[in-house]
């Protein structure tokens, strides 16, 4: 095959450090747009970005030329800097948590995961972030130590 082709869908989740409720409804569309631009700049195709006041979910196609950890690092670093700016919330103490959760998504589940991300506010009327994260980790067979899972 003369070319390299890939379509690796990633469902990425990370929260505000200490799960502070700093992602206000008025800033969410701008933050998600900014994150989308950051992903595009790394040749990653954003599909859906959403969340609530203390965490975000991103569904995107990972560039075949980029390691996941690098895409996560750049997205978090750039968006944290943006949130600290007057364009964001102007909160100089805004930080994302140190870790993240990332899951591969099959193309056949792309629409379902995008809808799940789109409906985060409704979803979190019934379930906390901690419950959601544990459920997703369990569903994907990811082993974790609860002592460290939500310690930041």
Greater confidence (69 vs 151) lies with: 69
Residue 123 has pLDDT above 90, yes or no: no
Torsion of CA 63, 140, 110, 22, to 10 degrees: -80
R_g of the chain computed on alpha carbons: 15
57 band by pLDDT with thresholds 50, 70 and 90? very high
Q: How far is Cα 106 from Cα 99, in angstroms, rounded to an integer?
A: 23
**Closest to 63 measured CA to CA, from 39, 47, 84:** 39
Domains, the chain, with CATH or none: 8-149 (3.30.70.1290)
Q: How far is Cα 51 from Cα 119, in angstroms, rounded to an integer?
A: 8
C-beta of residue 105 within 8 angstroms of C-beta of residue 9: yes
Instruction: Using a pLDDT cut of 90, give the percent of the chain over it.
Output: 78
Q: How far is Cα 82 from Cα 99, in angstroms, rounded to an integer?
A: 19
Q: How far is Cα 78 from Cα 55, in angstroms, rounded to an integer?
A: 16
91 is written with which tokens?
């909160």
Q: What is the pLDDT of residues 72-91, one digit of tens each?
A: 999 999 999 999 999 888 88
Mean pLDDT of 36-51: 98
What pLDDT was estimated at residue 151? 62
DSSP string, 120-141: HHHHTTTS-HHHHHHHHHHHTT
Residue 143 has pLDDT above 70, yes or no: yes
């Amino acid at each position: 095959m003369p070319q390299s082709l890939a379509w690796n869908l990633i469902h990425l989740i990370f929260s505000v450090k200490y799960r502070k409720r700093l992602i206000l409804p008025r800033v969410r569309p701008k933050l998600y747009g900014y994150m989308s631009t950051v992903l595009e700049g790394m040749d990653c195709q954003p599909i859906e970005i959403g969340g609530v006041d203390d965490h975000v979910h991103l569904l995107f196609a990972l560039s075949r030329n980029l390691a996941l950890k690098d895409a996560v690092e750049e997205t978090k670093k750039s968006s944290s800097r943006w949130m600290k700016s007057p364009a964001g919330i102007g909160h100089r103490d805004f930080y994302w948590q140190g870790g993240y959760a990332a899951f591969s998504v099959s193309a056949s589940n792309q629409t379902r995961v995008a809808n799940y991300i789109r409906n985060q506010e409704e979803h979190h009327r019934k379930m906390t972030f901690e419950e959601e994260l544990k459920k997703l980790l369990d569903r994907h067979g990811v082993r974790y130590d609860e002592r460290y899972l939500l310690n930041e």
